[in-house]
């Protein structure tokens, strides 16, 4: 007699396992502990076999009968139902392992070998911030252009069209990796070629007008935000370093802080041109670093932060400028242009010294001939003059503009 759901629900465990038959080889196996399992008995090329169809009540009677009928159709087509089940499980396992996030992390692990740790980390953070939350759990082979476009539209709504464009390129790299490794058939990001908004004119780093510099320095002295941020802004004006080069600095990169030969040796992997860079440290810069040392405690980072990177975030100084009233009028990177202009117009320093201190290197320069310490005495004198000049225009009256120490 066929089973009923009531009979299945009321089946209790006995001293030994027993079966409740539903017909056509389908039966409910009831264990001594009361656990109930659907099983299908069938013959394959003369041999008796058993196929597991699930656990009751997670798999109900109707579902178990449908699975039996499906198995019977496979048998009629001379296909072993056990083989079909294994293939389905394998496909499901592959699908789980082939989510966009899983493939992307595999791609990143393979790709990062020839990149600097900082750049590799930057790309992973980009994936984790904008891509994984949107499509990370989706099987990569099932993703379609509209899903990608929806993800990128959200980025565009933040007003960062160029970031959306770069994310599209990143997604394309991951899809191409998925294709050559057999996890996807095509790259749907290629269909978005004309779908994204135009990036517009390149966003250049806005430099503060030189006439505004004295006012800015005075405002900085009275800045009421985080002391670490205030000191970071002071240091960026004194060193010409880019934001990334400065904020990720570590104490072991500083040399001879208590001597006249104090310098900051920035490693190649953090420099834009991937060449080690030396920054002669003025007396003012050293004083700022001593204050930062007291704030940093035992951290190996000059600007420690509890975030993922372990150091100050990329926007901390920029947002401080906004709070000081310089939104749209200045960026931290723009201080480099201000320093370059003032130093060149002073006619006191060789242009090569200025360019080397700004870490401007011709791309076709032979790297093995590059000398990070070139013109170091002259650069040291220039950097001290610059620091004294900033002190002077902020109200300290250290030296007149026309003299170099």
The span from the CA of 178 to the CA of 398, in Å, is 62
The span from the CA of 100 to the CA of 116, in Å, is 24
- In order of 110, 123, 131, 132, 347, the CA distances from 105 in angstroms are 9, 11, 12, 10, 52
Sheet of strand 26-30, all strands in order from the earlier edge strand to the far edge: 18-23, 26-30, 36-44, 47-56
- In order of 249, 270, 288, the CA distances from 314 in angstroms are 13, 13, 20
For the segment 227-263, what is each residue's pLDDT rounded down to a tens digit? 999 999 999 999 999 988 999 999 999 999 888 899 9
Given the residues 14, 43, 308, 360, the one annotated as active site:
360
Given the residues 333, 356, 379, 380, the one annotated as active site:
333
The span from the CA of 285 to the CA of 213, in Å, is 18
Q: Which residues pair with 49 in a beta bridge?
A: 42
Is 333 one of the annotated active-site residues of the chain?
yes
What whole-number percentage of the chain has pLDDT above 90? Answer: 52
pTM (predicted TM-score): 0.53
Is 154 one of the annotated active-site residues of the chain?
no
Helix (H, G, I), strand (E, B) or coil at 58: coil
**Cβ-Cβ contacts under 8 Å for 253 (sequence gap 6 or more):** 264, 265, 266, 267
The span from the CA of 288 to the CA of 228, in Å, is 10
Give the number of residues written for the chain.
405
**Cβ pair 30, 12 in contact under 8 A:** yes
For the segment 280-303, what is each residue's pLDDT rounded down to a tens digit? 999 999 999 999 999 999 999 999
Structural tokens at position 259: 């001597």
Is 197 one of the annotated active-site residues of the chain?
no
Q: Which of 137-141, 207-211, 335-339 has the lowest mean pLDDT?
A: 207-211
Is 272 one of the annotated active-site residues of the chain?
yes
pLDDT higher than 80, residue 396: no
Is 158 one of the annotated active-site residues of the chain?
no
pLDDT higher than 80, residue 113: yes
Which class for 275: exposed (0-12), middle (13-18), buried (19 or more C-beta within 10 A)?
middle
For the segment 28-50, what is each residue's pLDDT rounded down to a tens digit? 999 999 999 999 999 998 899 99
Confidence bin at 332 (pLDDT 50/70/90) = confident
Given the residues 68, 165, 242, 356, the one annotated as active site:
242
DSSP state of 99: B
Given the residues 68, 336, 379, 380, the one annotated as active site:
336
Confidence bin at 364 (pLDDT 50/70/90) = very low
Beta-carbon count within 10 A of 61 CB? 21
The span from the CA of 23 to the CA of 20, in Å, is 9
- H or E segment and range at residue 74: helix 61-76
What whole-number percentage of the chain has pLDDT above 70? Answer: 89
Q: What angle do CA 325, 329, 331 make, to 5 degrees?
A: 95
The single residue listed with the structure tokens 């076999």 is 49
Confidence bin at 10 (pLDDT 50/70/90) = very high
Give the residue among 230, 265, 240 at the shortest CA–CA distance from 383: 240
Which domains are delineated in the chain? 5-85 (3.30.160.390), 100-192 (1.10.150.130), 210-396 (1.10.443.10)
Main-chain dihedrals φ then ψ at residue 298, nearest 5 degrees: -95, 5
**Cβ-Cβ contacts under 8 Å for 310 (sequence gap 6 or more):** 299, 301, 304
CA torsion sign, 361 to 365 to 368 to 371? negative
Position 273 scores a pLDDT of 75
The span from the CA of 403 to the CA of 405, in Å, is 7
Calculate mean pLDDT across residues 129-144.
92
Helix (H, G, I), strand (E, B) or coil at 38: strand
Calculate mean pLDDT across residues 333-345.
86
Structural tokens at position 210: 């030189």
């Amino acid at each position: 007699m066929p089973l009923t759901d009531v009979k299945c629900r009321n089946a209790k465990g006995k001293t030994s396992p027993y079966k409740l038959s539903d017909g056509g080889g389908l039966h409910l196996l009831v264990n001594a502990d009361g656990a109930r399992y659907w099983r299908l008995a069938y013959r394959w090329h003369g041999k008796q076999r058993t196929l597991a169809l699930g656990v009751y009540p997670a798999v109900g009677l109707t579902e178990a009968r449908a699975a039996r009928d499906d198995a019977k159709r496979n048998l009629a087509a001379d296909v072993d139902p056990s083989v079909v089940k294994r293939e389905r499980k394998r496909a499901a396992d592959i699908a789980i392992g082939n989510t966009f996030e899983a493939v992307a992390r595999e791609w990143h692990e393979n790709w990062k070998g020839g990149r600097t740790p900082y750049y590799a980390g930057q790309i992973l953070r980009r994936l984790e911030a904008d891509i994984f939350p949107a499509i990370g759990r989706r099987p990569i082979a099932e993703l379609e252009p509209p899903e990608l476009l929806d993800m990128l539209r959200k980025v565009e709504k933040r007003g960062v069209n160029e970031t959306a464009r770069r994310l599209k390129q990143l997604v394309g790299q991951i899809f191409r990796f998925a294709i050559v490794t057999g996890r996807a058939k095509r790259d749907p990001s290629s269909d978005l070629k004309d779908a994204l908004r135009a990036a517009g004119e390149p966003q250049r780093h806005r430099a503060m007008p030189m006439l505004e510099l004295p006012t800015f320095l005075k405002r900085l002295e009275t800045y009421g935000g985080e002391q670490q941020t205030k000191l970071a802004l002071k240091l960026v004006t004194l060193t010409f370093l880019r934001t990334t080069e400065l904020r990720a600095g570590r104490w072991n990169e500083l040399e001879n802080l208590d001597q006249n030969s104090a310098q900051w040796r920035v490693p190649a992997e953090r420099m834009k041109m991937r060449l080690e860079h030396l920054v002669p440290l003025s007396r003012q810069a050293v004083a700022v670093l001593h204050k930062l040392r007291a704030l940093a405690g035992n951290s190996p980072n000059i600007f420690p932060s509890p975030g993922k990177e372990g150091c100050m975030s990329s926007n901390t100084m920029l947002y401080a400028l906004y709070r000081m009233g310089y939104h749209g009028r200045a960026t931290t990177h723009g201080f480099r242009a201000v320093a370059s202009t003032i130093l060149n117009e002073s006619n006191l320093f060789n242009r090569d010294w200025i360019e080397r201190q700004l870490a401007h290197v011709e791309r076709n320069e032979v790297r093995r001939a590059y000398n990070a310490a070139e013109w170091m005495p002259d650069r040291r004198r220039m950097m001290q003059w610059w620091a004294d000049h900033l002190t002077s225009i902020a109200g300290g009256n250290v030296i007149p503009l026309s003299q170099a120490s």
